[in-house]
C-alpha cells in the first residue's frame, strides 16, 4: 500500500482527476476492488476497504473525493445501522444497560479529558482542546466492524458484541448533541478547563501568527487564460491569492508560480468547507457559465461568506438573477475588451 501511495496513485490520478465524475467512480471502484482483493488473500473486506480509503486520503484530491462521496457514505451508513439493529438481542439490552452506561460515560468524558490534556501539553488553548475532544467523544462505526469480525472469529461473545453496539448507539447519539451545543458547554466549563491550558499556549500563538500572513484575501476560481493573468496581476499588487481549478495538470503547472492552488470544483458546495475564508475579501469566478456561477454564489452564501463576489459572464444579466448584492461585480471580458479596443483604435485614428 505504501508503494502504491508513493509511486502509482499520483501518476494515475493526475489523468483521472480531469473529470470529477470519473474521479468519483474511480474512488468507489478502487475501494471496492481493494476490499475484494483483501478478501481474496485472506484478510477481511472491511480492512481492505479501510486501507483503500487511506490510500485515497493520502492524495492531493482528497477534499474533492470526500465532498463528492459524502452523500454516498451517508446513504450506505443507513443500511449499516439497519443491519446492526437487526442483529441486536433486545432481551439482553436491559441486563447490559448499567455496564453500557458506565462505559459510555468513560468514552463521553474520558476521551475529551485525554485530548484536552494532550493538546494542553502541546501548547494549544483550552478552547481548541475542548472542541477537539468533543469530536472524539464516541466510538465510531468502525469499532462495530471490528467487533463483528471478532464475533465471527469467535474472539468475543455475542453478549460482548451487543455491549459494544449499545455503547456505540449511546455515545454516537449523545456526542451529536454535545457537538451541537459545544460552545454553550464550553462557556459553562471554561473556568474549570483552565487546568488543562499552559500559561503561554505557544503552539497556537505560533500557528496564528504564521497563518495570518499565508491566508488568502482573494480566491480565484478557474485558472484558464483570464484566471491565470488575473491571479498573477493580483499577486504582483501585493495580494495573497488562492487559485482553484479542477484540471490537475493546470494545478501542477501553477506550483511553479509561487501561488497557492487547490484542486476543486466550483459546482461542489462541499468543497468550500476546505477553503480558509477568514481573511477573504473577494471571490472571483472566471468561469463564464451562468449556472455554475449561480451554484457557487448560493454555496458561498450558505457557508456564511460575507465578502464581495465577482463572476464572469458572456452576457449581462441582472444581479438578482444570480443572487448577487449591489456591491458585487459582473465581469464581461469580451465586451470590456471590445470597448477598450475601440477606444484605442479611435484615439489612434484621431491622432493621425
- Mind listing the pLDDT tens digit for each residue in 226-277? 888 899 899 889 899 999 988 877 777 776 566 788 888 887 777 777 787 8
pLDDT of residue 139 exceeding 60, the answer is yes
10-27 tens-digit pLDDT = 888 888 888 888 988 999
How many whole angstroms separate alpha carbon 306 and alpha carbon 98? Answer: 49
* Average pLDDT estimate for 192-221: 70
pLDDT of residue 294 exceeding 60, the answer is yes
Q: Please give the mean pLDDT across all residues of the chain.
A: 84
pLDDT of residue 311 exceeding 90, the answer is yes
* Average pLDDT estimate for 58-87: 80
pLDDT of residue 211 exceeding 60, the answer is no
In the sheet where 329-331 sits, what is the strand order?
260-263, 241-245, 218-221, 282-285, 308-312, 329-331
* Average pLDDT estimate for 314-322: 88
Q: What is the pLDDT of residue 87?
A: 66
How many whole angstroms separate alpha carbon 286 and alpha carbon 270? Answer: 20
In this predicted model, which residue has the larger pLDDT, 6 or 271? 6
In this predicted model, which residue has the larger pLDDT, 319 or 203? 319
Q: What is the pLDDT of residue 174?
A: 93
pLDDT of residue 146 exceeding 70, the answer is yes
Q: What is the pLDDT of residue 124?
A: 82
Q: How would residue 114 be classed by pLDDT, with cut points 50, 70 and 90? A: very high
How many whole angstroms separate alpha carbon 308 and alpha carbon 68? Answer: 26
pLDDT of residue 279 exceeding 60, the answer is yes
Residue where the block lists cell 489523468: 15
Q: Which residues does 269 contact at the CB level (< 8 Å), separation at least 6?
A: 67, 295, 298, 299, 302, 303
Q: How would residue 30 be classed by pLDDT, with cut points 50, 70 and 90? A: very high
* Average pLDDT estimate for 109-116: 92
pLDDT of residue 103 exceeding 90, the answer is yes
Measuring CA to CA, which residue among 287, 280, 315 is closest to residue 223? 287
Find the angle CA(124)-CA(129)-CA(135) to the nearest 5 degrees.
145
3-state SS class at 267: coil
Q: What is the pLDDT of residue 204?
A: 57
pLDDT of residue 109 exceeding 90, the answer is yes
Which segment of 113-127, 260-274, 300-314 scores lowest on mean pLDDT? 260-274
Q: What are phi and psi of 30, to 5 degrees?
A: -65, -45
* Average pLDDT estimate for 141-151: 82
For residue 188, what is its C-alpha cell? 459553562
Q: What is the pLDDT of residue 352?
A: 63
3-state SS class at 241: strand
Q: How would residue 76 be classed by pLDDT, with cut points 50, 70 and 90? A: confident
Measuring CA to CA, which residue among 231, 324, 208 is closest to residue 286? 231
E strand or H helix at 261? strand 260-263
Q: What is the pLDDT of residue 202?
A: 59
Supply the pTM of this predicted model.
Answer: 0.61
pLDDT of residue 280 exceeding 60, the answer is yes
Q: What is the pLDDT of residue 200?
A: 66
Which DSSP symbol is given to 195? G
**Percent of the chain predicted with pLDDT > 90:** 22
164-190 tens-digit pLDDT = 888 988 998 999 999 999 888 988 888
User: Which domains, ranges and CATH numbers included, belong to the chain?
Assistant: 2-196 (no CATH), 215-351 (3.40.50.720)
Q: Please give the torsion angle defined by the CA atoms of residues 63, 67, 72 and 73, in that order, rounded to the nearest 10 degrees.
A: 60
Interstrand relation of 308-312 and 282-285 (parallel, antiparallel or unpaired): parallel
Question: What region, left, alpha or beta, does residue 30 occupy, with left being phi > 0 and alpha being psi -120 to 50 degrees?
Answer: alpha
Half-sphere exposure of 118 (CA within 13 A, CB side): 8
Amino acid at each position: 500500500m505504501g508503494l502504491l501511495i508513493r509511486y502509482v496513485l499520483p501518476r494515475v490520478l493526475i489523468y483521472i482527476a480531469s473529470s470529477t465524475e470519473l474521479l468519483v467512480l474511480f474512488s468507489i471502484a478502487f475501494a471496492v476492488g481493494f476490499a475484494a482483493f483483501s478478501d481474496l488473500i485472506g484478510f477481511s473486506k472491511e480492512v481492505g476497504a479501510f486501507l483503500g480509503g487511506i490510500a485515497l486520503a493520502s492524495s492531493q484530491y482528497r477534499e474533492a473525493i470526500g465532498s463528492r462521496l459524502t452523500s454516498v457514505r451517508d446513504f450506505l451508513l443507513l443500511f449499516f445501522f439497519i443491519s446492526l439493529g437487526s442483529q441486536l438481542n433486545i432481551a439482553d439490552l436491559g441486563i447490559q444497560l448499567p455496564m453500557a452506561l458506565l462505559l459510555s460515560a468513560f468514552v463521553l468524558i474520558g476521551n475529551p479529558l485525554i485530548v484536552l490534556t494532550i493538546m494542553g501539553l502541546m501548547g494549544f488553548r483550552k478552547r481548541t482542546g475542548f472542541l477537539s475532544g468533543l469530536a472524539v467523544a464516541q466510538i465510531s462505526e468502525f469499532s462495530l466492524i471490528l467487533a463483528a469480525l471478532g464475533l465471527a472469529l469467535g474472539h468475543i461473545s455475542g453478549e460482548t458484541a451487543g455491549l459494544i453496539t449499545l455503547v456505540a448507539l449511546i455515545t454516537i447519539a449523545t456526542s451529536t448533541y454535545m457537538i451541537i451545543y459545544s460552545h454553550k458547554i464550553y462557556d459553562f466549563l471554561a473556568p474549570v478547563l483552565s487546568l488543562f491550558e499552559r500559561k503561554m499556549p505557544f503552539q497556537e500563538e505560533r500557528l496564528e501568527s504564521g497563518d495570518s500572513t499565508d491566508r488568502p484575501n482573494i480566491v480565484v476560481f478557474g485558472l484558464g487564460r483570464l484566471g491565470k493573468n488575473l491571479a498573477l496581476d493580483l499577486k504582483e499588487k501585493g495580494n495573497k491569492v488562492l487559485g482553484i481549478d479542477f484540471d490537475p495538470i493546470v494545478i501542477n503547472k501553477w506550483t511553479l508560480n509561487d501561488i497557492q492552488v487547490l484542486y476543486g470544483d466550483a459546482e461542489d458546495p462541499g468543497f468550500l468547507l476546505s477553503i480558509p475564508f477568514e481573511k477573504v475579501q473577494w471571490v472571483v469566478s472566471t468561469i463564464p457559465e451562468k449556472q455554475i456561477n449561480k451554484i457557487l454564489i448560493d454555496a458561498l452564501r450558505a457557508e456564511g461568506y460575507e465578502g464581495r463576489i465577482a463572476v464572469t459572464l458572456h452576457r449581462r444579466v441582472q444581479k438578482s438573477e444570480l443572487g448577487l448584492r449591489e456591491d458585487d461585480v459582473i465581469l464581461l471580458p469580451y465586451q470590456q475588451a471590445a470597448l477598450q479596443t475601440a477606444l484605442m483604435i479611435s484615439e489612434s485614428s484621431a491622432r493621425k
